Structure 1
Amino acid sequence: MAKSAKYLVVGSLEAYSGKSAVILGVAHQLQAQGLDIAYGKPLSGDIGNSEDEDEDIPFIPETLKLADDRVQPTVLNLNAERIAHRLGANDRPPYLAQLQQQCVAQEGDLVILEGPGSLDEGRLFDFSLGQMANAVGGTILLVARYHSILLLDNLLAAKQQLGDRLLGVVINDVPSKQWTTVTQQVKPFLEAQGIAVFGILPSSTLLRSVSVAELVHQLKAEVLCRADRLDLLVESLTIGAMNVNSALKYFRQGHNMAVVTGGDRTDLQLAALETSTQCLILTGHLSPTKEILARAEEMEIPILSVDLDTLTTVEIIDHAFGQVRLHEPIKVECVYEMSADHVDCDRLLKALRG
């Protein structure tokens, strides 16, 4: 193992906690301080969503402008077939040894490894978060999304499981109403328990937004107009199913919405186009009127048509909001700013150097 390189494994308690955002923000700050950063994602894939997961792998190295020799290849691509094979095999999985072999040749000041989606993911292959950190002689930074004060139980359990390998945590996605509780009660408590809190990141509607292009992909939608505006970002979802007067009042309260309504509800479609709507999603595979298409063209609002019912459409969009990607440049800039404002990288670097 290269003696000059330190290893930081960034993990989480649950999938989609914001590991990629924290890695980007921290790495960007440390690069600005002159550190030579390398990156790897040893375990990739999600049985339910492996295609999207794989698309994410080159994003961080490209964004950080890492040279090829500062990017470690993925060791294990997790999928149903590989799991089935593992269940029938008696030999010990070779993945930790492969990871160690990569680390022998790795140069740089700090190698950031993106860990699995939870503490135990990969354990079937002896490739869990703690096992990875042990294999490379690294420490662990946990990214924990704040749902409630019950996060404390999960972090205390993580500390017990990971022991001295746990360097500390970054608490992510803290709502403004909970900010005082987290900064004045949760953080001091964790610090007293020996769990360093290197950062507390506020909730961001921008970071949780989804591009219209991503909705097209997830919904397998047909784009009826303004295919040139699929880069628009959607921050909220609104369902148009009431009378038009109620709908207009409802729509006016929204911001950067995706409005889902029936393809036959011309009144609601017109109301949506007059408010802060980023895209109109028509269910039932019904075509809008020429008037609606003309108005949408004029307002530069894409109209999508889906061959789905409203409930299924809403479920798919909700799922998309829960698996937000950072690929838009405006999101990357937001991550950099939030990290600079809310993550203490000087303290983190000091802790890494021991």
Structure 2
Amino acid sequence: MAKSLYVVGCRRCGKTLICLALAVIFRDEGYRVGYFKPVGQMEKICGERLDYDVELMKKVLDLKEPPSILSPVCIPKLYMDAVDYAEARARIMETYGEVSKDKDIVLVDSADTPETLLTKGCSVVDLAPMFGSKVFVTWRYTDDSSIDSLALHYKFFESSGLDVVGSTLGFIPPTNIERVRRVASEALGAYGVKVLGFIPMVPELFSPTVKEVAETLGASVLTCEDNMDRVVETFLVGAMSAESALRWFRRSRRKAVVTGGDRTDLMMAALETDTSCLILTGGLHPDISVLTKAEERGVPVLVVPSDTYTTIMKLRTVGMTISPENRRRIELLVNLIRRNLDWETILRELLPERGNA
């Protein structure tokens, strides 16, 4: 019979990323691993319901079950009266049985927030006992109030009778991680919260490549198509004088500079600093001197038809998700979790007889 771990946390705390990394680690340890997201909040794309988390896990783990089995219940944002939740619970249990068949471990991905569907009997408090799941709590660190939020939810789950095996704080700025580790370990330990790791924010994990930027924008590539795997950590808009811009350009590493194709002065200034690519708006092609300099520096030059504002709006979400095809990010994620989360303790909690072997 499969053992399951229910990964629960706040919004945008990386629940699915934790599931993905643990699934890869456990699979590498020789275990048959499944994935289940009982309640999804899906988007409609071209008339089809699509949950990016489920698609990611299905492809990376090569799962045979269709998305409708891996995530059987879909709710909208206004969900209170949208679904027959008695039928939903029955459907969830039926499909969980299919997912857990012939598996050693099933990683269960929670809904958007811990409280989602609490009043409808389909939250983690209701479903974890039905699956026989142990619970792992992950929380996004924004400031010290995140420590108290983690403690509040951890203790709520324990008081609800759930078997909580541990927790983690994630997305911690690297410059602050030693302090967070010290104060959170002391505060949470004194409060009876078991912490299994502190995970730093790694810019490279959510930094897109130039290729991803170009695909998002539908850009034409004028130079250095063989350097499209360069990483973009920062987007800067060039709308000031070249002299003023140069001060900002020097402070930013691995950046993309967004500017009009007629701003030769800004482009030449950017090419004197650590620039991953130039994004030229308005469909304007640059002066030949810019293209020559970009070729010398190995910097791709992208041209897009949209104006600067529209271009920036399109760039807001680029790199915020991990695609199944991006092996670089997946490997980076797995290594990050291996180093910063005590996954061996989680494995022993799930499979004590084999985790101690």
What is the CA-CA distance between 1:114 and the residue it aligns to? Answer: 1.7
Q: 1:222 to 1:337 in 2, by over 3 A?
A: closer
**TM superposition shift of 1:325:** 2.1
Query: Counterparts of 1:209 and 1:258 in 2: how far apart (Å)?
Result: 11
Residue deviations 1:108-152, cap 9 Å, x none? 121001222221345587543433323322122222121111102
CA contact (8 A) 1:209 1:324 kept: no
Shift of 1:79: 4.7
Q: Which residue of 2 aligns with 1:273?
A: 271
Question: Does 2:132 align with 1:112?
Answer: no
Cα gap change, 1:27 to 1:73, in 2 (>3 Å)? closer
After superposition, residues 13-162 of structure 1 pair within 5 angstroms as 13-15=10-12, 17-47=13-43, 54-64=51-61, 66-68=62-64, 73-79=70-76, 87=81, 91-92=84-85, 94-105=87-98, 106-121=101-116, 126-162=121-157
Match of residue 355 from structure 2: none
Pairing 1:233–2:231 present: yes
Aligned residues of 2:44 and 2:50 also touching (Cα < 8 A): no
Does the Cα contact within 8 Å between 2:253 and 2:275 map onto a contact in 1? Answer: yes
TM (norm. structure 2) is: 0.82
Q: 1:307 to 1:67 in 2, by over 3 A?
A: closer
**Aligned-residue CA RMSD in angstroms?**
3.2
Following TM superposition, by how much is the alpha carbon of 1:259 offset from its aligned partner in structure 2, in angstroms?
1.0
Is the alpha carbon distance of 1:10 and 1:70 closer, same or farther for their aligned partners in structure 2, counting shifts above 3 Å? farther
CA contact (8 A) 1:37 1:70 kept: no
Superposition pairs of residues 240-259 of structure 1, within 5 angstroms: 240-259=238-257
Q: Is the 8 A contact 1:70 1:108 kept in 2?
A: no
- Name 1:346's counterpart in structure 2: 344
Say if 1:225 and 1:168 are closer, same or farther in 2 by CA, change over 3 A. Answer: same
SS in 1 for 2:26: helix
- Residues 35, 70 of structure 2: 8 Å contact kept: no
**1:128 maps to amino acid:** S
* 1:78 to 1:300, Cα distance in 2 relative to 1, 3 A: farther
Offset from partner CA, 1:222-248 (integer Å, 9 cap, x none): 224245544332111222222223323
Aligned pair in 2 of structure 1 residues 95, 340: CA closer, same or farther (>3 Å)? Answer: same
Q: Post-superposition shift, 1:264?
A: 1.8
Of residues 8, 11, 14 in structure 2, which corresponds to 1:11? 8
Q: Any idea what SS the aligned residue of 1:162 has?
A: helix
The verdict on how the C-alpha distance between 1:48 and 1:108 changes in structure 2, with shifts beyond 3 A counting, is closer
CA distance in 2, matches of 1:316, 1:167: 40
SS state at 1:168 partner = strand
String of CA shifts for 1:185-211, please: whole Å, max 9, x gaps: 202322332322111112212112123
Aligned counterparts of 1:254 and 1:168: Cα–Cα separation in 2 = 38
Over 3 Å counting, the alpha-carbon distance change for 1:99 and 1:273 in structure 2 is same
Distance change (3 Å), C-alpha of 1:46 and 1:59 = closer
Q: Distance in 2 between matches of 1:73 and 1:293?
A: 49
Gaps of 5+ in 1: none
TM-superposed CA distance for 1:260, in Å, is 1.3
Asked if the contact 2:264/2:286 (under 8 Å) is kept, the reply is yes
- Alignment partners' CA distance in 1, 2:292 and 2:120: 56
The 3-state SS of whatever aligns with 1:207 is helix
Question: How far did 1:294 drift?
Answer: 4.2
- Superposed displacement of residue 13, structure 1: 0.6
- % identical equivalent positions: 27
Change beyond 3 A, Cα 1:168–1:260? same
Q: 5+ residue gaps in structure 2?
A: 353-357
> Aligned partners of 2:312 and 2:44: how far apart in 1?
18
Q: Does 1:320 align with 2:318?
A: yes
Instruction: State the alpha-carbon separation in 1 of the partners of residues 168 and 34 from structure 2.
Output: 20
Q: Is the aligned partner of 1:198 residue 2:196? A: yes
Distance 1:47 1:205, change over 3 A: same
3-state SS of the aligned residue for 1:320?
Answer: coil
Contact 1:223 1:302 survives alignment (8 Å): no
**Is the contact between residue 37 and residue 110 of structure 2 (CA under 8 Å) also seen in structure 1?**
yes
1:181 partner letter:
R
Report if the CA contact (8 A) 1:207-1:326 is conserved.
Answer: no
Contact 2:220 2:304 in 1 (8 A): no
Contact kept in structure 2, 1:234 and 1:256, CA below 8 Å = yes
Q: Is the 8 A contact 2:168 2:195 kept in 1?
A: yes
**Stretches of 4+ moved more than 6 A in 1?**
48-53
- Secondary structure at the aligned position of 1:21 is classed as helix
